[in-house]
Amino acid sequence: MGDDGVTIEFLSRTKLQGKSFEEKVEVVIERVKENAVLVLEEGWSPEEERRLIQNAMDEIDEDFPGIEFLGLNDHESRFTRAKKMFYEKVLNEKYRGGITIVGNSRVMEKVKKERDAVSFLAKLEEND
């Protein structure tokens, strides 16, 4: 990636499936350190978000300012509840509805969260 752009990556739930939480955090931090903005096809629990922030704080230096993220979660519709039951009873895994958007603090300049939409301006600062 050049100095004048940002890569926005969409990672499907299956791309991260089978990875431990620590491996997921490693993938996220590695990509975010390269100025990517990740859109993950799964929601993260508050505990997972806290652990992601803690791990990212350990990586902060003059080249990596840390991370910012935003989660959008599914509303509890009948269809969502049915999907959740299917995942838990048939597939024996936790349903992780929603999406998570993660980027480094320098890139995620402005985040606007509405009920069902997110818009953000991704911008790289000039390094003097």
DSSP string computed for 29-74:
HHHHHTTEEEEESS---HHHHHHHHHHHHHH-SSS---EEEEEE--
Please answer whether residues 103 and 122 qualify as being in contact, where contact means their C-beta atoms are separated by less than 8 angstroms: yes
Torsion angle of C-alpha atoms 93, 95, 99, 105, degrees rounded to 10: -50
Please check whether residue 2 lies inside any domain of the structure.
no
* Type and span of the H or E element at 113: strand 108-113
Reading the chain (128 residues) residue by residue, the pLDDT tens digits are 445 567 888 888 888 888 888 998 999 999 888 888 888 888 787 788 889 889 999 988 988 888 887 776 655 566 666 766 766 777 666 666 677 778 877 777 655 555 556 666 656 666 65
Please check whether residue 1 lies inside any domain of the structure.
no
* Residue 101 structural domain: 7-122
- How many structural domains does the chain have? 1
Please check whether residue 81 lies inside any domain of the structure.
yes
Please check whether residue 32 lies inside any domain of the structure.
yes
Please check whether residue 128 lies inside any domain of the structure.
no
The rounded distance, in Å, linking the Cα atoms of 15 and 52 is: 18
Task: Report the predicted TM-score, pTM, of the whole model to 2 decimal places.
Answer: 0.64
